[in-house]
Amino acid sequence: MKAPVVIFAYNRKEHLRRTIEALGLNMGIEDTAVYIFADQFGKKEEQEKTEAVRAYIEKLEQGHPFQSLHVKYAAEHKGLAASVISGVTEVIERYGRVIVVEDDLYTSKDFLKYMNQALDFYEKEPVWSISGYSFPMKHLKQYPHDIFYCYRACSWGWATWKDRWSMVDWEVKDFAEFRNDRKEMWKFNRGGTDLTPMLCEQMEGKRDSWAIRWCFAQSKKEMPSIYPKDSRVVNMGFDGSGSHCLASTEYETILNCREEDCRFEILDLDKQLMKEFRDKYSDTFWKKVKRRLKTMGNKRL
């Protein structure tokens, strides 16, 4: 049985349309159940956009390429974190595994094939999740494998299993203990030095993220995620239209267009890749300077 696909939508109809159309071109889509969770508007000025999304989904229900389509409209605004946690929990409880796509992701034609094969291959292995997204890295040019292991999960087109999902303490009850444990903070930050500050913001109520808590649980369990050498996902959301992402080109990638199957293997973490990956997600002094200069430049325009 192919894993179901869960899509989270809010107020970006055109992004959602492109996401759905890309999925519709995927191999195996006709055998895939799709669940869409559409959130309600949080601010009055978002009502029109939210209603446009719902109108698009209602039209989609009348004709689609999926095996089945199940839609849930939130009666009130839940926010991304609550939507994802409740939606994934509902579907994964029924199927035991799930593939998750948000409304700003464009997938390759073999995205579902890659995800389902990876879920089968790594189900009995100590692996936390499967990522469909990957960004270009220098070391990948000479890397001989199709996948690599990583300390950090990705939320841009991903998959996991029920037993992993159920391991997460969404309240992060041991946060105070973690903040006083340098070893645990070092371990968490192997995936990027931005992780601990994001978790702190989450616990202080300054951030609404399910993903940072998902990554924190992963670090505690010491289970890697699987990434593809060639990305199966492009994030369209860095155009300034999203609620959680500013305009940026920092995470641009090249979509896989090969027809060969991905070779899944049991590997060790590659130290060179992990250093390059960690640097990408670490807020160094020069990154701060570059971002500041870019902001100043934009203000002059």
What is the C-alpha to C-alpha distance for residues 128 and 112, in angstroms, rounded to an integer? 18
Helix (H/G/I), strand (E/B), else coil: 159: strand
The whole-model pTM stands at: 0.91
Which pLDDT belongs to residue 241?
Answer: 47
Domain layout of the chain by residue ranges = 5-295
Among residues of the chain, what percentage have pLDDT more than 90? 87
Q: The tokens of 281 are what?
A: 């997600």
Which pLDDT belongs to residue 284?
Answer: 54
How far is residue 200 from each of residues 59, 119, 284, 288, measured CA to CA in Å? 41, 31, 18, 20
What is the C-alpha to C-alpha distance for residues 74 and 198, in angstroms, rounded to an integer? 27
Beta bridge partners of 72: 37
Give 28-54 pLDDT, tens digit per residue. 999 999 999 999 999 999 999 999 999
Which pLDDT belongs to residue 130?
Answer: 99
Which pLDDT belongs to residue 259?
Answer: 82
How far is residue 100 from each of residues 7, 69, 128, 157, measured CA to CA in Å? 6, 15, 14, 6
- Quick one: which H or E segment has residue 280? helix 271-280
Q: Which residue type sits at 6?
A: V
Q: Which residues of 55-94 are buried (b: 16+ CB within 10 A; e: fewer)?
A: ebbeebeeebbbeebebeebeeebbbbebbbebbeebbee
Reported as a pLDDT band with limits 50, 70 and 90, residue 301 is: very low
pLDDT reading at 238 higher than 90: no
pLDDT reading at 70 higher than 80: yes
Give 165-190 pLDDT, tens digit per residue. 999 999 999 999 999 999 999 999 99
5-295: CATH class: alpha beta
